[in-house]
Amino acid sequence: MMLMLIRTTATRTFFSSPHARPLKRTALLLLPSLLRTPIAGAFSSSKTATMLTRRTPQEVQLEIKDPVDSTALEQAKAILDELRPTTAAANGNDQQQQNSCSPDALLSVAHRLGDIPSDGAGSDAYIVSPSRCQAAFDSLSDAERRSLLNIHRRVKVFAQAQRRSVVDVEVDIPGGKAGQSVSPCRAAGCYAPGGRYPLPSSVIMTVVTARAAGCPHVILASPRPAQITLAAAHVAGADIVLCVGGAQAIGSMAYGVGAKLDGNGAEVVPAVPPCDVIVGPGNKWVTAAKSIVNGYCGIDMLAGPSEVLVIADKTANAEIVAADLIAQAEHDVVARAILVSDDAGIIDAVNTEVSSQVDALPEPNRSTAKEALGQSFSILCKDMDECVAMSDRLAPEHLEIQTAESQKVGDMCANYGGLFIGTNCAEVLGDYGAGPNHTLPTGGTGRYTGGLSVFNFLRIRTWMRIDERESCQEMVEDSVRMARLEGLEGHARAAEKRRV
């Protein structure tokens, strides 16, 4: 039953997509009237099976869920505590936790959880040397190096344009000046997943953006990094590359790691500075750890499963629409692909194409995509206005418009993470560095937030200065009066001290 399937998705372990950024985990909940509706061939390999179960707008609504898995939260907290062991306080009676992570504790956790081999070469190295990253880049083919450099250039150009869009400002106020100053945080932490597939694109999207913001220090963490991941770290300009993942990576970046010393007190592994902000998607332990350190440092968001919604009319190319839906479905078994249309014919045509194309995928992509498609669906609307309203209600991470008037329809849409206008604008082009960042809000959070950008690494701070005491007297009297209306006598008297 579809309701059972969707609810299972809402409460199961969520693994983050590399392109997802929600603050709340959400599910698309199908209403009880659907309990009698079977999923026709959702997991069938038949080329005529209906992969996207058809729904009406009334049958779909948004349900908000806690983004943090409770078991993962307990486990992440235990790991973070292990990274910073307690020591005797100065008074000799109490215990206090270390400010930074112990390098020995980090190695112990990394060995136990399989980030680093427990014996042999490299068993005591949790930082990848710059020379190894350079060698990884050099080992690529000419075509691979060219593509990596092209992606880096496009993402950098866009991020630098974002940085130029926000500037220092100064205005006149009574008796003086007020303004804002824009400056980067000191150290940025970037996480790139290293599980099912290597994700060098996530390295570029996070590290390059932090660099464009002007952060002096950029730390990257990725477990068991592939050669292409290390090559991307070299191109993007990461200062330190940690080859650890999960909660231990987030803790290392949040609290920093002390220098590892040999028996003679000489430094053998440099210290890792604590980061002011940590960004990037990851698994459920990454998400849990980010929720714990949030406040101690900043985070971008708590990432969840990836999603795409395609608005298509009768003019859409069913083969292309199906390919884009499958591309999202292969991310993870909890990814979601949604087709919204005012034309039943295009829905049928896309379903036929999805069934055919998904069977042509290699493994494990095929099985992953099929399971994700089992919780995906199409929505038949009465007209394009209802299609837009349905999309705005769901606020998808990726929104594709494939209609006769794609720009016009795109301009009508209000809620989304990233907008992809027209048949030629494949969402996967955004994944791989057209320019805008691919780390986007999921699960309906596009209603109130946007994707990763230089602004995540910037501090916009305000200041004011009074040069002429006589000219600010009206402001002084306004402050005195308002303070007493609020019952804050100390405020009023502090303002009175500025009277002439």
Q: Give the residue numbers marked as catalytic.
A: 397-398
Q: What angle do CA 355, 359, 363 make, to 5 degrees?
A: 140
Report the greatest alpha carbon distance in the chain. Answer: 86
Residue whose C-alpha is closest to residue 444's, from 394, 399, 410, 400: 394
Residue whose C-alpha is closest to residue 376's, from 355, 360, 407, 361: 355
Distances, alpha carbon 111 to alpha carbons 104, 127, 193, 270, in Å? 11, 14, 18, 19
Which strands form 458-466's sheet, in the order they lie side by side? 169-173, 176-184, 458-466
Between strands 25-30 and 60-65, the pairing is antiparallel
Burial class (CB in 10 A: 0-12, 13-18, 19+), 56: middle
User: Do residues 251 and 289 touch, judged by C-beta distance below 8 A?
Assistant: yes
Residue whose C-alpha is closest to residue 15's, from 425, 302, 416, 233: 302
Residue whose C-alpha is closest to residue 324's, from 418, 390, 395: 418
Question: Is residue 306 helix, strand or coil?
Answer: coil
Ranges of beta strands (E only) in 277-353 are 277-279, 298-299, 307-312, 336-341
For residues 249 and 236, give the distance between their C-alpha atoms in angstroms, rounded to a whole number.
19
Distances, alpha carbon 169 to alpha carbons 389, 420, 462, in Å? 38, 33, 9
Token output for 248: 């231990």
User: Do residues 446 and 395 touch, judged by C-beta distance below 8 A?
Assistant: yes
Burial class (CB in 10 A: 0-12, 13-18, 19+), 230: buried
